[in-house]
Structure 1
């Protein structure tokens, strides 16, 4: 009995020392990033088995106003909205309300008889898009750009969305999906390649049709309220507006203010008409940690006792989906060693990206800087939130990952 007691005390002391060293290293990494002017401020947290190991804030949420970063600072999550859209899809799938092999046209009729952009020539799609194509980014639905006819068509539509934002008839979620199906040809034949685009926004419109609820209400019902995510939404009410971090981007003279809006969204001052399932959410470190920890718990959120979905559904959500041919489209440097599926990156080959994070790690990040990853092997969660465009691909992220998983792994 005495031996067990001493062993237990020794283990607790060792864990405490390790956490203190981890906190020191993370603090140094963030301080160095601020000193090198790669960011003005950040939040970071590490959880193990849904228990907080370490949480910190550094620098300013608004450099010009000298507002310090806080645990309840609000961040534009951008593409970290996508995993929440994927989780909601899994929940409705598990409830028998949709099938992942359902044609998109069953819910958004304009996706019937799609055309494909074949080097500027429009040809018929060889098959219909299905919901799994949207989840895997193998749909061929683009984001706006200037390289192909398809991307240019999407860009023209986003221009229209932006001009209508302040009018009495803004584009809403359903019109967005209907117009993309009608006016924007696919980049390639369905299912033949991987290419990052607006698939999750179309999926959001599908979820509205399936549930007969606006996407914000659906997310609140399925995920936000059960997990206690009280600050997560598609807009920022007036009383919370001072907590919204300033967004920055790199310019000629370093970091400069990057104004809203982007990708057809508003400046977050009012409830939007278009609920972007791919980029629209605002959240906090504490809120998003609840969602990430539920994923680490294979669908079970320990603090609230809420189960989002069963272990079988969780297993499917986190299973890579791409064929070898489809994976050739993943040419982003930060995704070296990764595959993709269900709006999540999944680590296949740690050695390929020189990381000590174990295979099976999954997560995503956003253009405005937020980043999260989950290691199911040891239920470790790393969250790093900034508001610097492209900040999620900086060396700060890789340093945080290797410090965290190197020590705790």
Structure 2
């Protein structure tokens, strides 16, 4: 039977999946797995110095930065953020449109938006491309839903889709949190993360601006796609036997003035793992031990939790990349999704996890003492083939870690 490495290499060679970087570490650093497979671009092999569009993996870093602000007493998790973000004072909820009309039905929200709600996607702020009312709202303004084409503040400034704290929807709450961090500390989000996160753990090749760190740009993996999609960044994966093709879709503008706290970072998975390891080890370099404990506690109210569970168990997510088995107990922590029961791959109850658009997935399992990172650059999100190999990677790491322990 082919070894794990032989299976991954064969899949990359045959372009079943793109090149990948696979990483794992335990809290003490005694168990380490760091390997690169397949091509970085049509002419070069993938290396451990390769860099990726981190996309929504940015959210973990922004959550950590926001919690550092809480530790300093600059803001509380349940404080009204409109004192720092006046744009979110008296937000309006888009309930729909008048019959036979293009006139939106708007009402002023009763509840305030708090930092906790921004960090857990319970604020009512949605990505415009995933909610039909907001798609229509954008279209009526002659604008295109989704990333690009608008400055960040225009992009993230949309009506709410529910009363703050009464639901769950994936959205730009972490982008707003990034703006809040910047304003509280009178600096850019890039400069803040450089000083308080990247320097703190010795992570070099991560940035919002590729021109600031030439090695990030030089080592960036060329984007891949499956199937002949016109706009793969804005679509969900479909089951396909098609192989992986190269694409010139860059996903983000380069250079850019914007620093999206929810999605804008580009960088090295090896360096990103240093951030994950600090949280896994609870070593105090990024956050106080008590704050790390809070990250791994359920944060959602009953209505929000029901909405999250409904979102995750929609048929379109079944067996896709980063999906969980149906019936998995979940909640949301301060930084990612909380898994509340053990999984067959070895993942333990209490693990924190989230993914990034080009099919990246990070997981921090404090019960087992293991952190995993699967990094690829392939569109669209939810790639079924990548899901197979990510699960294979996860199970292999737990088997090897258990055998070594």
Task: Identify the TM-score tier after normalising by the shorter chain.
Answer: 0.7 to 0.9
Distance 2:166 2:324 in 1: 19
Structure 2 residue 26 is matched with structure 1 residue 48 = yes
How many residues are treated as equivalent by the alignment?
360
Distance 1:99 1:285 in 2: 31
**1:167 matched residue in structure 2:** none
Q: Please, which of 195, 220, 237 is the counterpart of residue 194 of structure 2? A: 220
Following superposition of structure 1 onto structure 2, how do residues 8-407 of structure 1 map, counting pairs within 5 Å?
A: 25-34=3-12, 37-51=15-29, 52-62=31-41, 64=42, 66-120=43-97, 121-145=105-129, 147-153=131-137, 162-163=148-149, 171=151, 175-176=153-154, 180-181=156-157, 184-237=158-211, 239-240=214-215, 241-252=217-228, 254-262=243-251, 265-267=252-254, 270=255, 272-300=256-284, 307-330=285-308, 331-332=311-312, 333=318, 334-336=323-325, 337=328, 338-351=330-343, 354-389=344-379, 390=381, 394-407=387-400
- TM-aligned CA deviation for residue 260 of structure 1: 4.0
- TM-aligned CA deviation for residue 40 of structure 1: 2.5
Give the RMSD, CA atoms, in angstroms: 2.5
Call closer, same or farther: CA 1:33–1:319 in 2, change over 3 Å: farther
TM-score by length of 1: 0.81
| Deviation per residue, 1:279-306 (Å, 9 max, x gap) | 1111112201110100111243xxxxxx
Task: Say if 1:29 and 1:399, in contact at 8 Å, map to a contact too.
Answer: no
- TM-aligned CA deviation for residue 29 of structure 1: 4.1
- TM-aligned CA deviation for residue 408 of structure 1: 2.1
SS in 2 for 1:291: helix
- TM-aligned CA deviation for residue 232 of structure 1: 0.6
More helix by percentage: 1
**1:18 matched residue in structure 2:** none
TM-score by length of 2: 0.82
Larger Rg: 1
Distance 1:385 1:391 in 2: 13
| Deviation per residue, 1:217-271 (Å, 9 max, x gap) | 0010110112111111012237433311011122145323344444xx413xx3x
- TM-aligned CA deviation for residue 335 of structure 1: 4.1
Call closer, same or farther: CA 1:346–1:159 in 2, change over 3 Å: closer
Task: Say if 1:142 and 1:154, in contact at 8 Å, map to a contact too.
Answer: no
| Deviation per residue, 1:336-356 (Å, 9 max, x gap) | 5232122301110225xx442
Call closer, same or farther: CA 1:99–1:404 in 2, change over 3 Å: same
**2:236 matched residue in structure 1:** none
- TM-aligned CA deviation for residue 56 of structure 1: 0.9
- TM-aligned CA deviation for residue 34 of structure 1: 2.0
Call closer, same or farther: CA 1:72–1:151 in 2, change over 3 Å: same
